[in-house]
Structure 1
């Protein structure tokens, strides 16, 4: 199968980009795995995603011919990763035409590259086309000399949009024949067969239509080309390897993990599958972390966490008990950091995120083991041997405990799991997950898209003021354009110009009123659902509003001013953090509201109280300096040369807005104070962890900060009054009271222990012999569970021979139970956890624990006497 074993994956990528550059294509860098302005998908799944705005005519491309090597991540085959072919993260080589060439040239370029540049044997290549596409087969016959019967027609040769709507069209896929030894042996085996013989390597998409949410397809204004060639698959063929995991882009990662596990790839099928999983997932995690994806329980973060947990589980199967993913990240970065330079610049952060999350999951595994053992004890008491599927799924989904490990431990202890029940729970969760992750656009999108095409972009005048005269150019109700609305109708209002700021860059949208001679529309929110189009969301509070009417647009002044104070303060905060912690600090999100500001930034460690005090002092020093806030529009290159800070992962237009205040210079489209002095006062109120490697500051400015300090001052005065001291003496008085309280607690504990000892002396005398074993079952008076445990141990040690101690105490809302058994008796079948479970159940509650010591309880106080009488029977029936 080998064609050219001398080419590395890096060289193949370079040859592809060089080839299309020679055909007039402009190289564009890979976009982030986090899609820009595309809520239809969680992650970048294809090279064409960054091209969609160009295909739809919403943005101007840098050129009509483009080529790229794009980072991609697909979640559909996560559970299949481990076989020879499936990947989550991969590289997609692509060439794109935005209204330039179409089918003929796309086919010609593909054929030339495959047969002349990388020299794949032409007789091994087989094209497929859509049955209703007559043009593509004609070009394949003309350019490559294929007979018509050699061109396979497949219904699945249609490329749909990555989300619910978007550009689409027929496609032509190119398959490579790996040889009959990989086939199914059927006479009609051909491209599209499920066997391993024919491998799809390149998809040529002829983008001709736009698909609406309802499935309706309309021709695009310009026909486009989008192609995707899998780098890993092509490299596998050229290097003559059996799987993508053996190519040079992967083998170093696989071998690194194999070395850690003290094994070698190719030694054992089960081991190889686990090595493939952690190699793919390990590589994917490095790229996700580099692009700002952080572990969480939803969205992209859930995907990150899911594949990390899957990798750790397979690491456990290989015997890797210590964290290994962060260590292996350096291998991934070494292999791919020359082309994807963000891996090197983010290396320290990537390693820290992986280390923290892997360590956290190791703790999760420990918790899962404890929960599983408790579940097995409960099932034993009920004499059940099958773990319900819902419980298995809860361990897996809620606590991240691998199903395979649950099954293994259960089998060792004589249990099985309800696989069907687990699968049903998993299916329900997947349906919920798909519903949550699939993007369902508002019904208004189509109407707004037409409005944008017809009327153009909205002029924003909010930098100059908070009021303006404007004209209603469109009204939308329930996804349809209407000519008029009346109170109390809800609607979307689009003006030709507006002072209302649309939510963007962390700053929330403005509120206010649109007033015409016939009515008032109350704006509850302002957004920009399509680039360039500002939409006012709200309801008519009185009267009527018609398309074409002139309105007075008034933003709520105090709300805007408070928001501007907080927004300007985030810039000063960002600068203060970088000055204190270093230039590696990067903004990772913000929220700017009238009431407060929230600022997320990269940092592996929490800020100290001294750090926070320093930041507050610095920000307030700049506020008092009353620096003018200046804005300038300039080319992005000029802006970056001034040292302006740009947001990580953000894609900017050629012309950007630069906001300067003192030493702070940032790219920003938000509204700001005229000078820093207008912020008034800055106060950090909280610093917490937002995610792995991300810290969050919440702060107040202006009126909100003043109100906060007044409340704090009033609280201190109130406490001083209660303590009957001056306000400046509160701290010392509270410290004194704490010391007195600690001393009192120690004295009480001494009294309680002495009382417990006296009770223990009496209780020991009440022991009864059961099957030759001293058994104590008594009700005692103690203040809490801790003293009850201590008393149980006291009584056990005072017995003259190994015995069983069961103590119960009324703690108010419940009866607390403590079971203590001498270790020598556990070898004879006695188990404290089982006894606690039986007695707890008798009390209307539960119990459980280790063989030597266990706890339990219940709320049925009337059953306490009979519960204690049950102890002797349990011991007699169990002792061997």
Structure 2
């Protein structure tokens, strides 16, 4: 059976046992900050197991995408060198909630699937149970008739699972397959356990206890089942191989890797490429983009390790992206997101491969130089490894992987020390800037008064008490003129946050230029003082409402734009940054190609359609967890408190603390101004709303009308008219260039020789294109010649030398170039037909030409 057939058979089997077939969740865990990536089938059901949520079904089965390449579970360095380590794998699993079924049914269904559906030889299966779990032992013995030699009791925590220090836990039972005595390794629980002979293929977790904080365990009122079966391992069993990389999926990827690299050897490298391609494709499809932090950095490490192995295979061309269609063909039926994101995946991989290629050679040379004196068993200094990471983007595990073949390790403690030293230097530099003193002021203000109360969602005006005034880095009691930062107990002014700029307005008679949020939620009003302000007095704060309304419109339009981009381009679109002010909005998002003009028009139309629908803006307060589970979009990396605002604008639902319009119609009109790339895999759209957008469109329309008048054509004919004019200009330019060349060539000096002519002239301040045109004309008229054309520029000279026809029997252009450099200096080079020099001494060039004329006359 092929891997895809096994996946289908598993899900069909449990569907027949009344299990809900639940699609795989994203590799990015849903509102679970404890995990970098989804690494097990039970992750999406965690809240069901803990009792936080009540499921709509009591039994489920899945095929879950998993990544283990970061954090606690990290298999990256082992991939390629073992038979079963992967960064990406699929975990098949069946689950029971609320006590629907427990040990007996879980054990019986697992045994039935393996021995009846897959027809695996029961005599090659072994069972382990927790040594205190007599119930599971007895069920297995009754079901299989196995003796204690094949149902093995394990006393260690290998057969007892817990979710954490407290919470659901319980014993495990594992099913092992015996690959035969040609492989090394002993039975589980024996001193020789491990190796490639006895391989775990299924783990059954019986959640029957709750671990309490005092160390006690109590029985759960409704036990649960969580099982996991590695599809790659079962596929190896079904295909009669011991190595996961010898199964159908990996064989196809490895075959393509060999063909593209034209290298049949180095099996480990082909394994690395196959595995890392899977990880990279699925991560990108789920919205992760390569970067220098978080999930993006893990993706970049995986990609670069694959690229390094391509380099080891001798691959000089970009290759990784060319393997994508093979993976998509193999896996997109089960995971359609691969097909939807195929073009993005290929583009990201190609871009990253180009980027890495620029630094790989330099980094490898430095690593080779730094490690050439090291012998097997020795260590590379952590400082060198850190320099490679910091300067050339070499992840530590890539450096370790490169040195692994020479049995050289890296001083990881030294690497961490160098990393820490850099952080300290950065911190010291920050402290030296005077900001540390300022930070203490804000901490003290918070300690004395608490956070500023924000009133801006309800009003744009309020009386407030002045709590503190800061001028420079010093607190003062009053200020009469100049600029100062004023802190009040409450404020209607929005402080710059989440990409939205701070409000402007008045504080009494004084102008509020900006508002920023400081330590612990203190709002600082940056004010131009014209009327005295004193600590302790009341002051009337008034936001410029016209300015705020423009900001509101732009911020709400940003939400609509985000939603429309995801609808049109795909779920991989995630916000990477934004700036919202009164003039325009700027939205950065993950996407690896330029949007077509048709796509931009469609985006604009869809946003304006949502504006015309005039949907009411609905703002709710919620916990981040509840909001995200109800479909609200959260920004990756954004820190949210215990309570968040959920802003709904039609079908757009996001967590946001900014100010927004009351109805989408208040935005008025949306117009895209530009779309461009700002970084690898990051695009930027700038847009305007309301009257600013109308003014922008009117200006463009006016320009269009002026063009039609000047070109004497209709609007629809402008492009054809411009193309026609461009062709005419190109033709005129070509003719002009030729006539100019003919004119410049008309008075060249021609010295006739016996077998060739010597042609030369000194020009003054002409462009290189004209000089080359003259050369072409002169060569055509003098096919057997030595031609030297000199261009004077600021008392220096450039010279073009050509040797053609019969002259080549006696002369070479590069020899003539050497003749000139020996007499007039300069630098350059060429071949036997053509050479060019620059930076020559003009006076000595003239002397050299006379000398050359005499030599040529003799010849």
Which TM bucket (shorter chain)? 0.5 to 0.7
Alignment partner of 1:429 is 2:388: yes
Change (3 A) 1:799 1:731: closer
CA–CA distance in 1 between the matches of 2:655 and 2:586? 18
Q: Which residue of 1 aligns with 2:88?
A: 89
**Please, which of 747, 760, 769 is the counterpart of residue 786 of structure 1?**
769
Q: Which residue of 2 aligns with 1:410?
A: none
**Residues 796 and 821, structure 1, Cα contact 8 Å, conserved in 2:** no
Q: Which residue of 2 aligns with 1:857?
A: 838
CA–CA distance in 2 between the matches of 1:61 and 1:842? 89
- Following superposition, the deviation at residue 753 of structure 1 comes to 0.6
CA–CA distance in 1 between the matches of 2:206 and 2:453? 36
Q: Which residue of 2 aligns with 1:32?
A: 26
**Please, which of 655, 663, 667 is the counterpart of residue 653 of structure 2?**
667
Change (3 A) 1:635 1:743: same
CA–CA distance in 1 between the matches of 2:851 and 2:356? 37
**Deviation sequence 1:333-378 (CA, Å, 0-9, x none):** 45434543433xxx2441x23454577689x5xxxxxxxxxxxxxx
Alignment partner of 1:290 is 2:291: no
**Deviation sequence 1:135-162 (CA, Å, 0-9, x none):** x9988999799999998999xx99999x
Q: Which residue of 1 aligns with 2:402?
A: none
CA–CA distance in 2 between the matches of 1:798 and 1:864? 24
- Following superposition, the deviation at residue 699 of structure 1 comes to 0.7
Alignment partner of 1:757 is 2:752: no
Alignment partner of 1:682 is 2:681: no
**Residues 68 and 75, structure 2, Cα contact 8 Å, conserved in 1:** no
**Deviation sequence 1:392-420 (CA, Å, 0-9, x none):** xxx9643777999x99xxxxxxxxx9695
| 1:41-56 superposed matches below 5 A | 44=37, 46-47=39-40
**Residues 84 and 245, structure 1, Cα contact 8 Å, conserved in 2:** no
TM-score by length of 2: 0.55
- Following superposition, the deviation at residue 429 of structure 1 comes to 3.2
CA–CA distance in 1 between the matches of 2:385 and 2:807? 43
- Following superposition, the deviation at residue 245 of structure 1 comes to 1.9
- Following superposition, the deviation at residue 296 of structure 1 comes to 7.3
Q: Which residue of 2 aligns with 1:398?
A: 358
Q: Which residue of 2 aligns with 1:593?
A: 580
Change (3 A) 1:302 1:859: farther
**Residues 645 and 665, structure 1, Cα contact 8 Å, conserved in 2:** no
| 1:435-584 superposed matches below 5 A | 464-465=458-459, 508=500, 524-525=516-517, 535=521, 560-570=548-558
- Following superposition, the deviation at residue 593 of structure 1 comes to 0.7
Change (3 A) 1:172 1:870: farther
Alignment partner of 1:342 is 2:337: yes
- Following superposition, the deviation at residue 464 of structure 1 comes to 4.4
Change (3 A) 1:575 1:249: closer
Q: Which residue of 1 aligns with 2:401?
A: none
- Secondary structure (helix, strand or coil) at the match of 1:241 reads coil
Change (3 A) 1:149 1:656: same
CA–CA distance in 2 between the matches of 1:838 and 1:300? 61
Change (3 A) 1:502 1:241: farther
Gaps of 5+ in 2: 138-147, 208-212, 374-379, 398-418, 428-435, 437-450, 466-474, 528-532, 714-720
| 1:792-803 superposed matches below 5 A | 792-794=775-777, 801=784
Alignment partner of 1:10 is 2:7: yes
**Residues 182 and 196, structure 1, Cα contact 8 Å, conserved in 2:** yes
- Following superposition, the deviation at residue 786 of structure 1 comes to 2.0
CA–CA distance in 1 between the matches of 2:106 and 2:820? 79
Change (3 A) 1:680 1:262: closer
Change (3 A) 1:716 1:13: same
CA–CA distance in 2 between the matches of 1:313 and 1:228? 33
**Residues 784 and 811, structure 1, Cα contact 8 Å, conserved in 2:** no
Change (3 A) 1:5 1:593: closer
**Deviation sequence 1:39-86 (CA, Å, 0-9, x none):** 898x627349967996999x9456799996233162777687555545
- Following superposition, the deviation at residue 782 of structure 1 comes to 5.4
Change (3 A) 1:658 1:808: same
**Residues 510 and 556, structure 1, Cα contact 8 Å, conserved in 2:** no
Gaps of 5+ in 1: 128-135, 208-217, 365-394, 408-416, 445-456, 472-483, 528-533, 721-725, 876-880
- 852-861 vs 837-846, greater mean Cα deviation: 837-846
- Following superposition, the deviation at residue 686 of structure 1 comes to 1.3
Change (3 A) 1:421 1:62: farther
RMSD: 7.9
- Secondary structure (helix, strand or coil) at the match of 1:685 reads strand
- 850-859 vs 786-795, greater mean Cα deviation: 850-859
Change (3 A) 1:680 1:859: farther
**Deviation sequence 1:198-224 (CA, Å, 0-9, x none):** 8788999999xxxxxxxxxx9999999
- Following superposition, the deviation at residue 565 of structure 1 comes to 0.3
- Secondary structure (helix, strand or coil) at the match of 2:746 reads helix
- Following superposition, the deviation at residue 332 of structure 1 comes to 3.1
CA–CA distance in 2 between the matches of 1:172 and 1:553? 64
- Secondary structure (helix, strand or coil) at the match of 2:838 reads strand
**Residues 253 and 274, structure 2, Cα contact 8 Å, conserved in 1:** yes
**Please, which of 687, 700, 717 is the counterpart of residue 699 of structure 1?**
687
**Residues 29 and 44, structure 2, Cα contact 8 Å, conserved in 1:** no
CA–CA distance in 2 between the matches of 1:727 and 1:857? 44
* Aligned residue-pair number: 711
CA–CA distance in 1 between the matches of 2:489 and 2:23? 37
CA–CA distance in 1 between the matches of 2:746 and 2:346? 52
Q: Which residue of 2 aligns with 1:245?
A: 245
CA–CA distance in 2 between the matches of 1:137 and 1:826? 93
CA–CA distance in 2 between the matches of 1:869 and 1:204? 95
- Secondary structure (helix, strand or coil) at the match of 2:766 reads coil
CA–CA distance in 1 between the matches of 2:89 and 2:244? 10
Change (3 A) 1:84 1:746: same
- Secondary structure (helix, strand or coil) at the match of 1:46 reads coil
Change (3 A) 1:70 1:358: closer
Change (3 A) 1:739 1:811: farther
- Secondary structure (helix, strand or coil) at the match of 2:672 reads strand
- Secondary structure (helix, strand or coil) at the match of 2:549 reads helix
- Secondary structure (helix, strand or coil) at the match of 2:7 reads helix
- Greater C-alpha radius of gyration: 2
**Deviation sequence 1:741-790 (CA, Å, 0-9, x none):** 8798567524531244236x42x5399x9xx9998897544522223334
TM-score by length of 1: 0.54
Change (3 A) 1:598 1:325: same
Q: Which residue of 2 aligns with 1:723?
A: none
**Residues 301 and 395, structure 2, Cα contact 8 Å, conserved in 1:** no
- Secondary structure (helix, strand or coil) at the match of 1:70 reads strand
| 1:641-656 superposed matches below 5 A | none
Alignment partner of 1:627 is 2:614: yes
**Deviation sequence 1:504-543 (CA, Å, 0-9, x none):** 6xx647669999xxxx99961499xxxxxx9557699999
**Please, which of 785, 791, 807 is the counterpart of residue 809 of structure 1?**
791
Q: Which residue of 1 aligns with 2:414?
A: none
- Following superposition, the deviation at residue 685 of structure 1 comes to 1.5
- 859-868 vs 282-291, greater mean Cα deviation: 859-868
- Following superposition, the deviation at residue 704 of structure 1 comes to 4.8
**Residues 783 and 805, structure 2, Cα contact 8 Å, conserved in 1:** no
**Deviation sequence 1:218-243 (CA, Å, 0-9, x none):** 99999999998754345435644232
- Following superposition, the deviation at residue 564 of structure 1 comes to 1.7
CA–CA distance in 2 between the matches of 1:827 and 1:192? 80
- Following superposition, the deviation at residue 678 of structure 1 comes to 3.1
Change (3 A) 1:644 1:72: closer
